[in-house]
Structure 1
Amino acid sequence: MIVSSPAGDSTHTTAPATATLEPRAFLPDLCSLQSVLFLVLGTGLLAVAIVLVSSPLNEFSWELLGQLAMLLLWISLSSAGLLCQSRIWLGRLPSWVAGGLSYLLILLLASFFTIAGQWLVWPAFDWLVVLKVLLLTAIIAGVVLRYMYLQQQLSYQQQASNRAQINALQARIRPHFLFNSLNAVVSLIGFDPIKAERVVLDLCDLFRASIAEPTLVSLASELKLARQYIAIEDLRLDNRLRVEWLIDGEVESCRIPSMILQPLLENAVYHGIEPLPAGGTVKVDISVKGGVCDLRIINPRPESAAVRRGNGMAEGNIRARLQAHFGEQVVFTSLAQGDEYCVHLRYNWHHSRLEAATKNVK
């Protein structure tokens, strides 16, 4: 889809909904495929180790290995399933209470399956076997529960650190954005108060987005804010600014960090359009395919005498925010070619480190 316009639309967005805090889980997600595979492999290796320790190698009992492995699998998988379903509820309790209940649940399941296994498989019931299994389960369950609890707390700390980093990076953009936007309003108040009022209304939406919780938003909403910013700049520049929008793909489903397009467009206007007496055209080329967002912003490049020198803060900030969300796989380049300057951004929005961490701790 190709859309060409002198400026962006001036429609107004509503305030973003405030995210509600969800209860913190006590343990990691034990129902995930990775956790189940870990439990199955760990249980199998534990059964082999117990059989090897309990009898000489030349008397290795495959029958005992099968019975023991089956018993341990029933205990581990049933414990994981129940803890997986109750981990949010456990997260509402004090940690020592949640840990005690989890520990007691595993011991009860171990007792039940040991007694049931003896009744079904072995001809004679032996309480000593039950006691041995309980002692073994008590030792292993204590170590594993402690490890999983600490792993979950580390996940929360990493998520909080990542959010703090993104907050700090976005906070550096806001003063710069506020200063330039207010200049646009001031330049209009004296000779066109009606346009100035419209600019203020657009700024309300832009300011609301800039101070909102920094998170991933839909590319469609980011484009809407970008069009509002372009509308403001078009009024300030007296129609010297033209924007060509080339958009292809599912922008509604694509996710992008908030307030990414605005500073890139601001750079394009400040360095590429303002120095030119006749203005010029900024091209915004966005393609979304297979979870990959490919974005290019191309603006005119004035002659060397008119080029404005920047400090690279906006581009460096954006690169850091993108890498905080999507890791080192982000492609972010800027290149001057002839009379054009192009900023290229490419990333897989399915690979969000912050959303992945959120899913892991929910």
Structure 2
Amino acid sequence: MPNGNPPSSPLTDSFLPDFCGTRMVFVVVIAAELLAVTLCLARLPAAENPWLGLALYSLFIQWCALGCTAVLCLSRARLNRLNDKSAAGLAYLLCLLTCYLISEITWLIFQRWLGFTGIFSSTHGMFLAQSMGISAITTALGLRYFYVQHQLRLRIRSEGEARYQALQSRIRPHFLFNCMNTIASLIRRDPRKAEQAVEDLADLFRAALEDGRQYCTLREEVDLCKRYLNIEQQRLGNRLAVSWDIAALPDDLTLPALCLQPLVENAIHHGIENLPTGGTITIRGERRTLYASIIVENPLPANGSAPASGHRLAQDNIRQRLASLHDLSDPLKVSAEHGRYRVTLTIPYDHEDTDSRR
């Protein structure tokens, strides 16, 4: 994901869903069957054989519904290139044309070849008028439903992106404040290290603020953390040690920008700094079927109490950012045991979905 933009989605291309997918085909079949049941119930008092009527209604409506689904699937590429109005008009005409052809074929098979009337009207014209009228109404309602759902999802997404940007903007001043304090402590004691820290900070912010992006690759986030650790290393010296073990994480993993660095920052300011002899921060990765986890551990002070306010500010921020981008119940887990403070960051990982984020 070189450009770090948020993942793309068919929602932004067309309001029409993917009619080639099995899930949409299943929805169409269920909706068509519900329509068949509704029409059969409407004719129930006058029906001689309601079960036969339901079977014929189901057969005819399923032909029309699946035929329209197949046509929209085959026309997907062209429809996605059109604006919403043109796509809706073309989809509507294609569906009506498909229903007309299926109605003609159905009349030909059942009336002329089999001599079976069943549910059909006495005249050809009346049968076409009924089938095309119902097709026109149900198709219009379906397209309207897809459009309203599309607009609703776009609005939810735009609100989520605005909320994400607001949460991310809260991290950057806090991050800058801590880095400047670190550099200030080096100016009198070691000007050369302070100069190097300023250069690292400039490189770090150039990477962090590039394009105002939401996502970054794992390598970019790790590099940003290492630049920040270089700044803190100048101040803490041998008191700060870092152990990296992220070989288990996939190379194409993408994650929200600036979600790992604040956790490392907390581990230093609320863990290592409070220990006279310092300690080791452990950063390791774990891979599961649909998720990847990054665990950040740091030693606790002698009293064993985990800091509250400082940790919670960054953790709540990251938790809200992840919740606005991913449907996860608990994307950030925290525990304190055996003298170690552990934060586990969980990120969805679907190898097939990574192409849409590039």
Task: State the TM-score bracket (shorter-chain normalisation).
Answer: 0.7 to 0.9
Work out whether 1:151 is the aligned partner of 2:162: no
Q: 1:251 to 1:210 in 2, by over 3 A?
A: farther
Hey, what does 1:47 align to over in structure 2? 36
In structure 2, what is the Cα distance between the partners aligned to 1:132 and 1:313? 63
Hey, what does 1:271 align to over in structure 2? 270
In structure 1, what is the Cα distance between the partners aligned to 2:325 and 2:296? 21
CA contact (8 A) 1:301 1:341 kept: yes
What is the Cα deviation at residue 64 of structure 1?
A: 4.8
What is the Cα deviation at residue 48 of structure 1?
A: 3.1
SS of 2:26's partner is helix
What is the Cα deviation at residue 110 of structure 1?
A: 1.1
In structure 2, what is the Cα distance between the partners aligned to 1:16 and 1:200? 24
CA contact (8 A) 1:294 1:344 kept: no
Identify which range, 221-230 or 106-115, moves more after superposition.
221-230
Hey, what does 1:318 align to over in structure 2? 318
Identify which range, 118-127 or 153-162, moves more after superposition.
118-127
SS of 1:281's partner is strand
Identify which range, 59-68 or 136-145, moves more after superposition.
59-68
Work out whether 1:118 is the aligned partner of 2:97: no
In structure 1, what is the Cα distance between the partners aligned to 2:307 and 2:55? 75
1:255-308 deviation per Cα after TM superposition (whole angstroms, max 9, x unaligned)? 43221111111111112222334322112232222233333322233356x998
Unaligned residue ranges in structure 2 (runs of 5+): 116-122
Hey, what does 2:288 align to over in structure 1? 289
1:227-238 to structure 2, matched below 5 A, reads 227-238=226-237
Q: 1:202 to 1:87 in 2, by over 3 A?
A: farther
In structure 2, what is the Cα distance between the partners aligned to 1:66 and 1:309? 65
Q: 1:248 to 1:57 in 2, by over 3 A?
A: farther
Identify which range, 280-289 or 137-146, moves more after superposition.
280-289
Matched AA of 1:326: H
In structure 1, what is the Cα distance between the partners aligned to 2:226 and 2:205? 10
Hey, what does 2:118 align to over in structure 1? none
Q: 1:27 to 1:290 in 2, by over 3 A?
A: same
SS of 1:122's partner is helix
Unaligned residue ranges in structure 1 (runs of 5+): 1-14
CA contact (8 A) 1:185 1:200 kept: no
In structure 1, what is the Cα distance between the partners aligned to 2:184 and 2:25? 62
In structure 2, what is the Cα distance between the partners aligned to 1:296 and 1:172? 23
Hey, what does 1:243 align to over in structure 2? 242
Hey, what does 2:27 align to over in structure 1? 38
Matched AA of 2:3: A
CA contact (8 A) 2:249 2:285 kept: no
What is the Cα deviation at residue 329 of structure 1?
A: 2.3
Identify which range, 216-225 or 151-160, moves more after superposition.
216-225
SS of 1:30's partner is coil
Q: 1:251 to 1:226 in 2, by over 3 A?
A: farther
Cα RMSD between the aligned structures?
Answer: 3.6
SS of 1:236's partner is helix
In structure 2, what is the Cα distance between the partners aligned to 1:61 and 1:288? 56
CA contact (8 A) 1:248 1:288 kept: no
1:8-19 to structure 2, matched below 5 A, reads 16-17=2-3, 19=5
1:324-343 to structure 2, matched below 5 A, reads 324-330=324-330, 332-337=332-337, 340-343=339-342
CA contact (8 A) 1:249 1:289 kept: no
Matched AA of 2:288: K
What is the Cα deviation at residue 176 of structure 1?
A: 0.7
What is the Cα deviation at residue 348 of structure 1?
A: 5.4
Among candidates 41, 56, 60, match of residue 71 of structure 1: 60
What is the Cα deviation at residue 202 of structure 1?
A: 5.8
Q: 1:188 to 1:86 in 2, by over 3 A?
A: farther
What is the Cα deviation at residue 132 of structure 1?
A: 1.1
Hey, what does 1:82 align to over in structure 2? 71
Aligned-residue sequence identity (percent) comes to: 30
Identify which range, 313-322 or 246-255, moves more after superposition.
246-255
